Chain A
Amino acid sequence: MDWQYFWELFFGGLTRGSIYALIALGYTMVYGIIELINFAHGEVYMLGAFTALIVAGALGIYGFPAVAILIIAAAVAVIYCAAYGVTLEKIAYKPLRDAPRLSPLISAIGMSIFLQNYVILAQTSDFMPFPNLVPQPEFLEPIAHIMGASEVLIIVTSAIAMAALTLFIKYTRMGKAMRATAQNRKMAMLLGIDADKVISLTFVIGSSLAAVGGVLIASHVGQVNFAIGFIAGIKAFTAAVLGGIGSIPGAMLGGLVLGWCESFATGYISSDYEDALAFGLLVLILIFRPSGILGKAKTQKV
C-alpha cells in the first residue's frame, strides 16, 4: 500500500471535510431552531467567497501585503455574510413562520436562485481567479509533500471556529437561550427569551461560519463563480444529515466523514462520480437512518 498517497487523500479529505463542516453548522443550527432547511445557505457561502474576492482584488491594487489582504478580506466577508443571512431571514423566512412547511422551503429555493442571479448580474457569470494569499512558511516544510499551507490553515481555522462555537453554545447566556429555543420555542418565549433575537443570532453565526468557509476554500482552490454555493450547499446539507440534523457535533463529524468518503472514493475508485457520491450517500442515509449518526430518532406525535 502506498502510504504517502493514503495520507495525501486523508488530509485532502480532512480539508474538504472541515469546509463541509463549517457550512453544515449553519444548516444544522437553523434547522435546530426553526426546523427549516435554509436552502440559500450555500449561496451565503458563495457570497462570502465573492465578497472576499472583490475586497482582495481592491486591496491588491492598492498594494497591501498578502497576509493583511487575507485577514481584511475574511473579516469583511464575515460581516457581509452575517448581514446577508439576517436580511435573508427577515425577508424570506420571518413572514412565513406560521405557514405550512412547504412555503418557507419554496421561498428558500427562490432566494437561492435570486442570489445566484444577483451575483451574475452584479458581477459576472465567469470563473474568477482568486489570488493565492496564503504564504508557505518555513516550519511547514516537512509536511509540504502531503499538505500545503492553505490546507493547514483550513484545518486549523475550522478547528478553532468549531471550538469557539461549542464553547459559546455551552457556556454563554445567549448560547443557553439558543439551546432552549431549539428544544422548545414556545416554552423558551414564555420564559422570557426573545426568540426573534435568537433566530437572528443563529443566522449571524451560521452565515459567518459559511463566510469563513467560503474565503478559505476560495483561496485554496483559486477560483470562484456564482454556482459554487449550490453544490457546496447540498454537500454540507448531506454532512448535516449524516451527522444528525440539529446536532452541532453531528455536523462537524458528518462533514469530516463526508470529506473522507469523497476523498478516498475519488482517489481509489474514480473521480467521474465525485458529486454523485454525496447525493447517493444522502439518499441512503435518509432512507436507512434519517436521524443520522448522532441525532436522536424522533417519534411522530399525533
Chain B
Amino acid sequence: MQGLKKSILVSLWFMFLTFPLMVIRIDSLNGTIDWRWENMLGMGAGIFVLSFVWRFMLARKEAGRAAAAGGAMSARGAWFERLRSDPKAAVPAMALIFAVFLALPWVFSTYQTNIMISALLYVMLGLGLNIVVGLSGQLVLGYVAFYAVGAYAYAILNSNFGLGFWAVLPIGGAMAALFGILLGFPVLRLRGDYLAIVTLGFGEIIRLVLENWSSFSQGPSGIANIERPGLFGMQLSVNEATTYIYYLILAAVIVTIVAVTRLKNSRIGRAWQALREDEIACQAMGIDITTTKLTAFALGACWAGFAGVIFAAKTTFINPASFTFLESAMVLAMVVLGGMGSVIGVSVGALVLILLPEYLRAFSEYRMLIFGATMVLMMVFRPQGLVSPGRTKYNVPGADGVGADAARPAAGGNA
C-alpha cells in the first residue's frame, strides 16, 4: 500500500516534470500549439511501473550486499564462472565463438559484415579504454582523440606521401601512444574527476584543431579517398575488400584480447590494478606511479590509434565529426556496461551496445537515450558491470595455507 502511494506520487511528479517538453510543441509557422497529452499519460504509466522496478532493484541490491557481507556466494552466474575457469568448458565455448565469427562474412551479406566490422572496432576501442579506465582506474573522457590521431595519421600520410596501410598501422599506433604520453605528463598529479575533465578538454581541443587547421586536415570537410588496405597488391572488389577488412579487424581484436589478458596478469598489470585500488598505498609499496600511469595512457592510446587507422581504411573518408565527445562517452558506456577491468565483459558490452540498436531498428532513435540511461542504471544497480572482473588471488606459501585461487570478488580488497 505504501509502495502504491509512493509510485503514484512519483508518477505524478514526473508527469509534472516532463509536461512542457513532452506535451507542448509549438508550431511557430502556423502559430498553433500542438498538445500531446498522450505523451503525458504514457509517461505517467511508464514511471508508475518503473518506480516499482526501481524500488525492487534497490531492495535486491541491498539484500545482495548483505548476503555478500555474510560470505555467501550467489548461485547465479555460477555456470558462467564454470565456463570461464574450467578449461573443459571454456575451450569448446571459445572455439565455437571463434568459428561463428570466422564464418560470418560467408553467411551474411556485406551490409551485415560492415556492421560487424564497426562493432569489432568498438570492441577494440573498448578494450583499449579498459586498460586506462578499467585496469588503472584513470577516468579518461577524451579517448576518441587518440582514435582521431590514428585515423588522421593514416589519412594524411596516405594522401600526402602515399604510404600504405601496413606501413602506417604501427606509425598510427605510435603517434597515438605519443599523444597519450603528451597528455599523461601534465595530468600525472590530477586524479579522479579533474583528470576526467582535463582529458575531455584535450579531446575537444584535438577535434577543434582538426576542424580549424584546414591546411593540415582540410577542416570540417574531411579527407576522402583514403586507400583500403592492400593484400599483396591484389585488386579487390568492394565486397572482397569488406571481407578482407573484416578478417583484419577480427585478427586485430584477437591480438588485442590476448595482449590485454596477458598485460592484466603481468607485473605492470598488477601495478595498474594496485594504482586503481589505492594510489597512496600503491606508492608506499614502491610502485613508480609516473611510469605506471604513463604506460597505461600510452598503451590505451596506442590501441585507439590502431583502431583509428583501421577505421580510416574501412570508411575511406574521415572528418572531425566522427570524433566528438559522444563517441568517447559511447566507448565509456561499453566499458561500464561490460564491467570495468573485465576483458570478456567489455567485449560483450561493446557488441551488445552496437549490435542491439542496429538490429532493433525501432530503437535506433532511442539509442543514445538508452546509452545514457544504461550508464546511470549500471552505476546505481550493478557498478561492477555485467561481467564482474574476477579478482585474482595469489597464495603466498606459508601464509594461511589453503585458499581458493578461483576468481571471486574479494570482500576486503587486496590493496
Contacts and interface: CB of A to CB of B under 8 A. Distances in A.
A69 interface: no
Given A76-B20, A106-B336, A123-B21, A99 B383 contact: yes
A103 B137 CA distance: 11
B196 A105 contact: yes
A57 B31 CA distance: 9
A92 B209 contact: no
B211 to A, nearest CB: 9
Contacts of B205: 276, 279-280, 283
Contact of A106 (B26, B58, B366, B375): B375
Contacts of B25: 123
Interface string B127-149: 00000000001010100000000
Given A101-B192, A234-B200, A121 B365 contact: yes
A207 B77 CA distance: 42
A302 interface: yes
Given A117-B369, A230-B325, A107 B196 contact: no
A102 interface: yes
From A37, A117, A273, residue with most partner B Cβ within 10 Å: A117
Interface stretch (B10-18, B79-87, B113-121, B257-265): B10-18
A117 B325 CA distance: 14
Contacts of B366: 117, 121
A179 to B, nearest CB: 22
Contacts of A279: 201-202, 204-205, 208
B374 interface: yes
A302 B21 contact: no
Interface string A85-105: 001000110011001111111
Contact of A287 (B39, B189, B280): B189
A286 B329 contact: no
B100 interface: no
A91 B209 contact: no
B372 A283 contact: no
A87 B13 contact: yes
The size bracket of the interface on B is: 35 or more
Interface in A91-142: 91-92, 95-96, 99-107, 109-119, 121-123, 129
Nearest to A270: B212
Contacts of A280: 201, 205
B41 to A, nearest CB: 15
A54 B201 contact: no
A144 interface: no
A87 B21 CA distance: 16
A282 interface: yes
B21 A51 contact: yes
A99 B380 CA distance: 9
Given A121-B366, A237-B197, A287 B380 contact: no
Given A36-B193, A234-B200, A83 B380 contact: no
A275 B204 contact: yes
Nearest to B192: A101
A206 to B, nearest CB: 17
Contact of B186 (A107, A273, A276, A283): A283
Contacts of A293: none
Nearest to B21: A122
A37 B191 CA distance: 13
Interface of A: 36-37, 47, 50-51, 54-55, 57-58, 61, 76, 80, 83-84, 87, 91-92, 95-96, 99-107, 109-119, 121-123, 129, 230, 234, 237, 241, 272-273, 275-276, 278-280, 282-283, 286-287, 290, 300, 302
Among all A-B residue pairs, the 9 with the closest Cβ atoms: A110-B375, A114-B372, A113-B372, A279-B201, A57-B26, A107-B379, A117-B369, A110-B376, A122-B21
Given A102-B192, A106-B379, 12 more contacts: A109-B141, A111-B375, A114-B369, A116-B372, A117-B368, A117-B372, A118-B21, A234-B197, A273-B209, A283-B198, A286-B194, A300-B280
25 contacts: A36-B193, A54-B21, A61-B31, A95-B58, A101-B192, A105-B193, A110-B373, A110-B374, A110-B375, A111-B372, A111-B375, A113-B326, A114-B369, A115-B372, A117-B372, A122-B22, A123-B21, A123-B25, A275-B208, A278-B201, A282-B197, A283-B186, A286-B190, A287-B187, A290-B189
